[in-house]
Amino acid sequence: MVTSPVPWKLLNPRQWTQATIPIALGAVVLVGGGAVLLRSRAAETPAPVVTPLPSPTVVTALGQLEPAGEVITLAAPPSSTDSRIARLLVEEGDRVRAGQVVAVLDEAERLAAAVERADRQVDSAEAALDRVRAGAKRGELNAQSAEIDRVRAQRDGDWRSQRATLDRLLAERDTQLAAQRATIARLEAELANAQVEADRYASLYGTGAISASQRDSKTTTLDTARARLVEARANLAQIDASYREKVVEAQASLDRIRTTGVAQLTAARATLDRIAEVRPTDLRVAEADLAAAIAAAKQARADLNRAVIRAPRDSQVLKIYARPGELVGSQGIADLGQTQFMEVVAEVYDTDAPKVRVGQTATITSDAFSGELRGSVVRSGLQVRKQTTRDVDPSANLDERVVEVRIRLEPTDGQRVANLTNLQVKATIDLKSLPQP
C-alpha cells in the first residue's frame, strides 16, 4: 500500500485556519471508520487448524560394535624407549585372565638382575640393623674385657720392673758413693800422716840429722798422697753425677709407664663401653639405610613389572601389533576386549538424545549378519561431538552433532558378533519401551 504525504501545514497547529479545521475533522472521521471496518472483517476470518504431528516412537542411529568397556591397547611404558618384544605369550583370539602375562620386553632380564641386587641390599641392611640393635657379640665383649686385663697387667708389670731398676740404681749409687767416701777418708788419713812425716823429715834435715834425699823421699810421699786424695774426690763427684743422670732417666720411665698405662686402660674401657652400648644415632642410621634399601627394591620391582605386560582384566586378544624381536610402535603391542559382553556405540543426533533413556530396548541390524540383535541402553553420553560413523548414503550430512549412546547386547546375541569388533551397524532404539518423563 502507498501512503500520500500529509501537508506540512496540518502538522503545525499554529498554521490552522478556520478553513482547515473542517478538513482535519473529516480526515479523522475517515481514518477511524476505515479502522473499524478492517477490524470487523478480521474478526469474521476463521483461524487455520494446526494438526499436531505424532510423537516419534523410535530413534535410529549409526554405530559400531565394541567389546564392553571399550578396546584396551597394551603398550610399552613411556620410560621404555626403543623397547623390543622378547617373548609373546598369546595369539590373536586367545582369551586371557586379569593379570596374565601377555608379553615380556627385552629389558626385563636386566631389570630382574636389578631386583635381585636390590633384594640383597635389603638383606644386608636388615642384618646391619639387627647387629646394631643387638649390640656387640658376647665374644667381642669378652675379648675387649680381656684386652683391659692385659693392658692393666702390662702396666703393672712394666711399672714394677722399672721401679726395681730405679731402686737398683739408687742402691748401686749409695754403695759406690759410700765406698768412695771411705776411700777418700783413708786417703785423707794417709795425706795427714804423710804431711807429719814430711814436716818431721824437713826439721831433721834442717838440723843435719838426715840427708836431703831422705827429706825429698818424704816430700814425694806427701805429694803422692795429696794427688791420690784429689783423684778420689774427683771420682766421688763423677760417681754422683753419673748415677744422678741414670736415676732421673729411670724415674722418668717410671712416670711414663704410669701415665701411658692409665691412658691405655682408659681407652680400652671406653672401647668396651662403646661396643656394649647401642647408640641412638647408630640405630637411626641403620634404620634409614634399611628404609632406603627397601625403597630401592620397590622401585626396581616396579620397573620390572612395567617390562612385563599383563592383561588388566578378563578379555580376548583382538589384534597383535608387535611380535618377538620387533620394536613396540605407536600402535602398541596388542588390542584386548571383553568380547564376552558386546556393546554398540551408537551416535544419536543431539536433537534425539534427550529422548533416549537408560533401560530402553534396541534392535541392531547390519549386512554382515542375518536377523536382528537385541540389547538395551546402558549409558548415554554427556558430551556432544561431531559424528564419526559415516552413512553409505552420499547425500547424508557428514557434519552432524551427535551424542554417544552405549547399548549392551543380550549375551547370546553378543556371542554371535564377538569376532566383529568395529563393525558398523544400525541401531533402532524403542522409545516406547520406557515411558517418557
User: What are the DSSP calls for 108-132, one per residue?
Assistant: HHHHHHHHHHHHHHHHHHHHHHHHH
* Residue 42 pLDDT grade (very low, low, confident, very high; cuts 50, 70, 90): very low
Task: Return d(Cα 353, Cα 429) in angstroms, integer.
Answer: 11
Domain that holds residue 20: 8-44
Amino acid found at 77: P
* Cell numbers representing residue 136 in the block: 656387640
Amino acid found at 53: L
Instruction: For residues 271 and 379, state if they share a domain.
Output: no
Instruction: For residues 171 and 265, state if they share a domain.
Output: yes
Encode 170-192: b = buried (16+ Cβ within 10 Å), e = exposed.
Answer: eeebeebeeebeebbeebeebbe
Instruction: For residues 341 and 228, state if they share a domain.
Output: no
**Sheet containing 101-105: order of strands:** 85-88, 101-105, 308-310
pLDDT digits (tens, 9 = 90+) for 63-121: 999 998 888 999 988 876 788 999 999 999 899 999 999 999 999 999 999 999 999 99
**Mean local confidence (pLDDT), 332-345:** 91
* Cell numbers representing residue 218 in the block: 818424704
* Residue 364 pLDDT grade (very low, low, confident, very high; cuts 50, 70, 90): very high
pLDDT at 27 over 50: no
The CA–CA distances, whole Å, from 119 to 109, 127, 289, 290, 293 equal 15, 12, 13, 11, 8
**Mean local confidence (pLDDT), 329-354:** 92
Instruction: For residues 146 and 29, state if they share a domain.
Output: no
* Cell numbers representing residue 226 in the block: 795429696
Q: What is the pLDDT of residue 356?
A: 94
Residue whose C-alpha is closest to residue 309's, from 77, 114, 70 = 77
Q: Which residues contact 158 (CB under 8 A, 6 or more apart)?
A: 257, 261
Largest CA distance in the chain: 218
**Mean local confidence (pLDDT), 149-154:** 88
pLDDT digits (tens, 9 = 90+) for 299-319: 999 999 999 999 999 999 999
Q: What is the pLDDT of residue 244?
A: 87
Instruction: For residues 159 and 257, state if they share a domain.
Output: yes
Instruction: For residues 271 and 351, state if they share a domain.
Output: no
- As a dihedral over the C-alpha atoms of residue 182, residue 186, residue 189, residue 195, rounded to 10 degrees, the angle is -130
Instruction: For residues 260 and 357, state if they share a domain.
Output: no
pLDDT digits (tens, 9 = 90+) for 370-409: 999 999 999 998 899 998 877 655 555 556 899 999 999 9
Instruction: For residues 143 and 271, state if they share a domain.
Output: yes
Task: Return d(Cα 39, Cα 66) in angstroms, integer.
Answer: 66
Q: What is the pLDDT of residue 126?
A: 93
Q: Please, are residues 25 and 10 in contact by the beta-carbon 8 Å criterion? A: no
Look at the chain and count its residues.
Answer: 437
pLDDT at 218 over 80: yes
Q: Which residues contact 390 (CB under 8 A, 6 or more apart)?
A: 62, 396, 398
- As a dihedral over the C-alpha atoms of residue 383, residue 385, residue 391, residue 396, rounded to 10 degrees, the angle is 120
Instruction: For residues 252 and 339, state if they share a domain.
Output: no
* Residue 133 pLDDT grade (very low, low, confident, very high; cuts 50, 70, 90): confident
| Signed CA dihedral, 255, 261, 263, 266: sign only | negative
Residue whose C-alpha is closest to residue 312's, from 96, 154, 138 = 96
Q: Cell match 563393525: residue?
A: 423
Instruction: For residues 173 and 255, state if they share a domain.
Output: yes
Q: What is the pLDDT of residue 39?
A: 53
Q: Please, are residues 346 and 62 in contact by the beta-carbon 8 Å criterion? A: yes
Q: What is the pLDDT of residue 400?
A: 83
Residue whose C-alpha is closest to residue 325's, from 105, 111, 75 = 105
Residue whose C-alpha is closest to residue 388's, from 145, 147, 63, 6 = 63
Q: What is the pLDDT of residue 403?
A: 95
Lowest mean pLDDT among 6-15, 48-57, 89-98, 240-249: 6-15
For the domain that residue 266 is a member of, what is the CATH number?
1.10.287
pLDDT at 179 over 90: yes
Task: Return d(Cα 436, Cα 354) in angstroms, integer.
Answer: 10
* Cell numbers representing residue 217 in the block: 823421699
**Mean local confidence (pLDDT), 8-28:** 43
Q: What is the pLDDT of residue 135?
A: 67
Q: Please, are residues 304 and 111 in contact by the beta-carbon 8 Å criterion? A: yes
- Final residue of a structural domain among 243, 260, 276: 276
For the domain that residue 349 is a member of, what is the CATH number?
2.40.30.170
Instruction: For residues 259 and 338, state if they share a domain.
Output: no
pLDDT at 24 over 60: no
Lowest mean pLDDT among 46-50, 110-114, 133-137, 332-336: 46-50
Task: Return d(Cα 79, Cα 101) in angstroms, integer.
Answer: 19
* Residue 193 pLDDT grade (very low, low, confident, very high; cuts 50, 70, 90): very high
Give a yes or no: residue 32 inside a domain. Answer: yes
Give a yes or no: residue 248 inside a domain. Answer: yes
Q: Which residues contact 344 (CB under 8 A, 6 or more apart)?
A: 63, 64, 65, 66, 362, 364, 375, 406, 407, 409, 425, 427
Whole-prediction pTM value?
0.49
Q: What share of the chain is helix, strand, coil (3-state, %, to 5)?
A: 55, 20, 25
* Residue 154 pLDDT grade (very low, low, confident, very high; cuts 50, 70, 90): confident
Q: What's the total number of domains in the chain?
A: 3
* Cell numbers representing residue 276 in the block: 656394649
Instruction: For residues 146 and 252, state if they share a domain.
Output: yes
